[in-house]
Amino acid sequence: MAAAESYPEDLRYHPEHDWARVDGDEAVLGITWFAADALGELVHFEPPTVGATIAKDQPYGEVESVKAVSDVIAPLSGEVLEVNATVVDAPETVNDDPYGNGWLVRIRLSDPSELEALLDLAAYQQVLADQ
Protein backbone atom coordinates (compact mmCIF):
# COMPACT_ATOMS: atom_id res chain seq x y z
CA MET A 1 0.00 0.00 0.00
CA ALA A 2 1.38 3.39 -0.97
CA ALA A 3 2.28 5.87 1.74
CA ALA A 4 0.09 8.91 2.39
CA GLU A 5 1.37 12.22 1.01
CA SER A 6 3.94 13.74 3.33
CA TYR A 7 7.06 15.89 3.32
CA PRO A 8 9.10 15.76 6.56
CA GLU A 9 10.30 19.10 7.92
CA ASP A 10 13.75 17.75 8.86
CA LEU A 11 14.71 17.07 5.23
CA ARG A 12 16.16 19.32 2.55
CA TYR A 13 14.66 19.10 -0.92
CA HIS A 14 15.87 19.37 -4.50
CA PRO A 15 13.46 20.87 -7.08
CA GLU A 16 13.66 17.59 -9.04
CA HIS A 17 11.78 15.85 -6.16
CA ASP A 18 14.74 14.32 -4.37
CA TRP A 19 15.48 14.70 -0.67
CA ALA A 20 18.51 14.64 1.64
CA ARG A 21 18.72 13.89 5.35
CA VAL A 22 22.08 15.26 6.48
CA ASP A 23 23.90 14.04 9.59
CA GLY A 24 27.35 15.57 10.02
CA ASP A 25 29.40 14.87 6.88
CA GLU A 26 27.03 12.16 5.62
CA ALA A 27 23.63 12.27 3.96
CA VAL A 28 20.92 9.76 3.12
CA LEU A 29 19.20 10.45 -0.21
CA GLY A 30 15.89 9.41 -1.70
CA ILE A 31 12.95 10.52 -3.81
CA THR A 32 9.95 12.40 -2.44
CA TRP A 33 6.41 11.15 -2.07
CA PHE A 34 5.49 13.35 -5.06
CA ALA A 35 8.04 11.60 -7.30
CA ALA A 36 7.05 8.12 -6.14
CA ASP A 37 3.36 8.92 -6.62
CA ALA A 38 3.92 10.41 -10.08
CA LEU A 39 5.89 7.36 -11.21
CA GLY A 40 3.51 4.80 -9.78
CA GLU A 41 4.66 1.48 -8.37
CA LEU A 42 8.41 1.11 -8.73
CA VAL A 43 9.61 -2.14 -10.23
CA HIS A 44 13.38 -1.52 -10.51
CA PHE A 45 16.12 0.64 -8.94
CA GLU A 46 19.44 0.91 -10.76
CA PRO A 47 21.81 2.21 -8.06
CA PRO A 48 25.29 3.66 -8.34
CA THR A 49 28.23 1.52 -7.23
CA VAL A 50 29.48 1.83 -3.66
CA GLY A 51 32.59 4.01 -3.84
CA ALA A 52 31.31 5.95 -6.86
CA THR A 53 31.26 9.74 -6.76
CA ILE A 54 27.95 11.44 -7.45
CA ALA A 55 27.56 15.11 -8.37
CA LYS A 56 24.87 17.57 -7.29
CA ASP A 57 22.19 18.12 -9.94
CA GLN A 58 23.38 15.09 -11.96
CA PRO A 59 21.73 11.66 -12.35
CA TYR A 60 23.18 8.96 -10.07
CA GLY A 61 20.76 6.11 -10.76
CA GLU A 62 17.44 5.20 -12.30
CA VAL A 63 14.06 4.18 -10.98
CA GLU A 64 11.68 2.29 -13.21
CA SER A 65 7.96 1.97 -12.78
CA VAL A 66 5.26 0.40 -14.88
CA LYS A 67 4.84 3.90 -16.40
CA ALA A 68 8.37 5.15 -17.05
CA VAL A 69 12.10 5.11 -16.38
CA SER A 70 13.40 8.22 -14.60
CA ASP A 71 16.82 9.43 -13.57
CA VAL A 72 17.40 9.99 -9.87
CA ILE A 73 19.03 13.41 -9.44
CA ALA A 74 21.63 13.94 -6.72
CA PRO A 75 20.66 16.77 -4.36
CA LEU A 76 24.25 16.82 -3.03
CA SER A 77 27.72 15.68 -4.16
CA GLY A 78 29.68 12.94 -2.48
CA GLU A 79 31.00 9.40 -2.35
CA VAL A 80 28.48 6.56 -2.21
CA LEU A 81 28.99 4.73 1.09
CA GLU A 82 25.97 2.44 0.97
CA VAL A 83 23.17 1.42 -1.37
CA ASN A 84 19.85 0.39 0.16
CA ALA A 85 19.75 -3.33 -0.69
CA THR A 86 16.11 -3.49 0.41
CA VAL A 87 15.10 -1.12 -2.39
CA VAL A 88 17.25 -2.98 -4.94
CA ASP A 89 15.43 -6.22 -4.01
CA ALA A 90 11.99 -4.65 -3.44
CA PRO A 91 11.72 -1.27 -5.23
CA GLU A 92 8.10 -0.86 -4.15
CA THR A 93 9.50 -0.11 -0.68
CA VAL A 94 9.97 3.46 -1.95
CA ASN A 95 6.22 3.75 -2.62
CA ASP A 96 5.40 2.37 0.83
CA ASP A 97 7.91 4.39 2.87
CA PRO A 98 9.80 7.01 0.80
CA TYR A 99 11.47 8.71 3.80
CA GLY A 100 12.12 5.64 5.94
CA ASN A 101 12.91 2.18 4.57
CA GLY A 102 12.68 3.54 1.01
CA TRP A 103 15.87 5.62 1.11
CA LEU A 104 18.19 5.00 -1.86
CA VAL A 105 21.84 5.75 -0.99
CA ARG A 106 24.04 7.06 1.81
CA ILE A 107 26.91 9.37 0.84
CA ARG A 108 29.87 11.18 2.41
CA LEU A 109 29.49 14.82 1.46
CA SER A 110 32.28 16.28 -0.66
CA ASP A 111 31.00 19.87 -0.39
CA PRO A 112 28.78 20.51 2.67
CA SER A 113 28.15 24.09 1.48
CA GLU A 114 25.88 22.65 -1.25
CA LEU A 115 23.28 22.08 1.45
CA GLU A 116 22.58 25.84 1.46
CA ALA A 117 21.20 25.60 -2.10
CA LEU A 118 18.61 22.97 -1.21
CA LEU A 119 15.03 23.86 -0.38
CA ASP A 120 13.45 23.78 3.04
CA LEU A 121 9.92 22.38 3.38
CA ALA A 122 8.14 25.69 2.67
CA ALA A 123 10.19 26.33 -0.49
CA TYR A 124 9.63 22.76 -1.72
CA GLN A 125 5.88 23.06 -1.12
CA GLN A 126 5.97 26.17 -3.34
CA VAL A 127 7.63 24.11 -6.10
CA LEU A 128 4.79 21.59 -5.79
CA ALA A 129 2.15 24.35 -5.86
CA ASP A 130 3.67 25.78 -9.05
CA GLN A 131 3.46 22.48 -10.97
The total of structural domains in the chain comes to: 1
Domain extent, residue 51, equals 12-129
3, pLDDT greater than 90 = no
Residue 65 lies in a domain: yes
Model confidence pLDDT, tens digit, residues 104-121: 999 999 999 999 999 999
Can you tell me the distance from the alpha carbon of 126 to that of 108, in angstroms, rounded to the nearest whole number? Answer: 29
pTM given for the model? 0.96
Residue 4 lies in a domain: no
Contact 27, 33 (CB under 8 A): no
Mean per-residue pLDDT of the chain: 96
For residue 31, the domain's CATH number is 2.40.50.100
Contact 36, 50 (CB under 8 A): no
